[in-house]
Chain A
Amino acid sequence: MPQGKVEPPSPQAGFGAALLNPDLPLPDGVIGPGGKAATKRFAVYRNNVTVSLINALADIFPAVQRLVGEGFFRDMARIYLAEEPPQSALMFEYGAGFAAFLERFKPVDKLPYLPDVARMERAWLDAYHASDAEPLRPESLGAISPENLGETIFTPHPATCIVQSRFAVVSIFSASREQRPLGNIRPLEPEDGLITRPSDAVQVRTLPSGASLFFEGLIAGATLSQAASITLEQHSGFDLPSAISAMLEAGLFSSCTPGQTVSEPVK
């Protein structure tokens, strides 16, 4: 959802390319006070840009940095930013492709959970910057008559994101961010993370079995009855009341639309 995407005219594009690639020549028109080519000055600027972008990635992905170590992270970030410079003028939107980069970056393939940790961190910051919206009030859902409940659909809150993982991504993310020991985490136990922001503070939860399927269904526009049925079909132990409780508590949705009593053929 980049909002600050810029389309620079071509002299700017040339300038930008030379900034991130030291092998390219000094851009035209970059001169010192005496009219001579400002090679050293441009090198200083080039360095500042690169260091700033590495710092931004370190701020956006602190858990990834802790998992690989600061020195490694900074070297890796330098490679990433050459491959994928910011597409948005808003620095806090940088790194949307960082998780995908980690998937293909060979030196970290011993840490298979790393891309999902990066997804959690990116989702955390997206949630932080998402539009403010009041979460769905429990009374609004409670006020819907039983015959209209099944066809009720939900509008996702702008901050809501689910990260499904084959790894213990929430435990690793939380322990890394809170500087807690990682030794007692079993990374191969799958966890699905739920990220929401019901007020000013981002909240992170681990979803119980089946809940992510249920919530993803509702987010995609399925009715309450459809989402519940599909989930119960695949997870016989799915606890529907707890899931509804959790979705209200976490603020997954901002509103809901009751089904119509008059039964019309759907599709």
Chain B
Amino acid sequence: MSQKTLIGASALAGAVAMAISGASFLASTDGASAATEKCYGVAMAGKNDCAAGPGTTCAGTSKVDFQGNAWKNVEAGTCVGMDVGEGRMGSLEPLDRDIPA
């Protein structure tokens, strides 16, 4: 390899060690994916989230309140405890209830 190397192996190892010990991101790497969860059956009509995003017509298309096959991002760990009334709870999987005709 003819590439001039300005940084030695020990300096590189030091930089990586310093980067990893930086506490700023440790919480976010593990926490990022767990911070929210998709919760079915809890969104008000027209207020559902959608993985398809802008440019599509999925977000905000649920027709009835608490539609079972529409989901909303909620704080992780809170979904299944959500009671939307009449014994209906949030779910991490799509539900059969409250599907518009």
Q: Which residues B5-35 have CB closer than 8 A to chain A?
A: 5-7, 9-10, 12-20, 22, 24-26, 28-29, 32-33, 35
A226 in the interface (beta carbon within 8 A): yes
B9 touches A92 (CB 8 A): no
Cβ of A138 under 8 Å from chain B: yes
Stretch in A16-24, A139-147, A155-163 touching the partner:
A139-147
Chain B, residue nearest A146 (CB): B13
Residues of chain A lying within 8 A (CB to CB) of residue B55:
56, 59-60, 91-92, 94, 125
- How many angstroms from the CA of A266 to the CA of B9 in the assembled complex? 17
Q: How far is the CB of A91 from chain B (nearest CB, A)?
A: 5
Total contacting residues, chain B, CB less than 8 A: 34
Choose from B10, B20, B24, B33 the contact partner of A198 (Cβ within 8 Å): B33
Of chain B, the residue at the smallest CB distance from A147 is B9
Contact of A244 with B7 at beta-carbon distance under 8 Å, contacts A199-B35, A267-B1 already known:
no
Within 8 A of A (CB), among B23-53: 24-26, 28-29, 32-33, 35-36, 51-53
What is the CA–CA distance of A147 and B8 in the complex, to the nearest angstrom? 10
B56: chain A residues within 8 A (beta carbon)? 91-92
- Inside 8 A of A198's CB, which chain B residues have their CB? 28-29, 32-33
CA distance A50 to B61 in the complex (A): 22
A48 at the interface (CB under 8 A from B): no
Is the CB of A240 closer than 8 A to any CB of chain B?
yes
Cβ–Cβ < 8 Å partners of B25 in chain A: 138, 245, 248-249
Residues of A contacting B12 with CB < 8 Å?
146, 149-150, 224-225, 228, 240
Q: Is the CB of B7 within 8 A of A240?
A: yes
Question: Is chain A's interface secondary structure helix, strand, loop, or mixed overall?
Answer: helix
| Chain B residues with CB below 8 A from A245, complex form | 18-20, 22, 24-25
Whether a CB of chain B sits under 8 angstroms from the CB of A216 is: no
Give complex CA distance A208, B87 in Å: 52
Given A198-B33, A229-B4: A138 in contact with B54 (beta carbons within 8 A): no
Which residues 77-96 of A have a CB within 8 angstroms of B? Answer: 91-92, 94
Interface size of A by Cβ–Cβ distance < 8 Å? 45
Partner of B19, one of A135, A242, A266: A242
- On whether A138 and B26 interact (CB within 8 A), knowing A229-B5, A242-B19, the answer reads yes
Cross-chain contact A241 with B18 (CB below 8 angstroms): yes
B36: nearest residue on chain A (CB-CB)? A200
Q: Name the residue on B nearest A142 (C-beta).
A: B20
Chain A residue with Cβ nearest B22: A245
Tell me the A215-259 residues at the B interface (CB within 8 Å): 224-226, 228-229, 232-233, 240-245, 248-249, 251
Point out the residue from B9, B22, B26, B35 that lies within 8 Å of A149, measured CB to CB. Answer: B9
Taking CB atoms, residues of chain B closer than 8 Å to A243 are 19
Using a CB–CB distance below 8 Å, which chain B residues touch chain A?
Answer: 1, 3-7, 9-10, 12-20, 22, 24-26, 28-29, 32-33, 35-36, 51-56, 73
In order of increasing CB-CB distance, the 10 nearest A-B pairs are: A249-B25, A244-B19, A146-B13, A92-B55, A241-B18, A59-B54, A199-B33, A245-B19, A240-B15, A199-B32
9 interchain pairs, CB-CB under 8 A: A59-B55, A139-B20, A144-B16, A225-B7, A241-B22, A242-B22, A244-B20, A248-B25, A249-B25
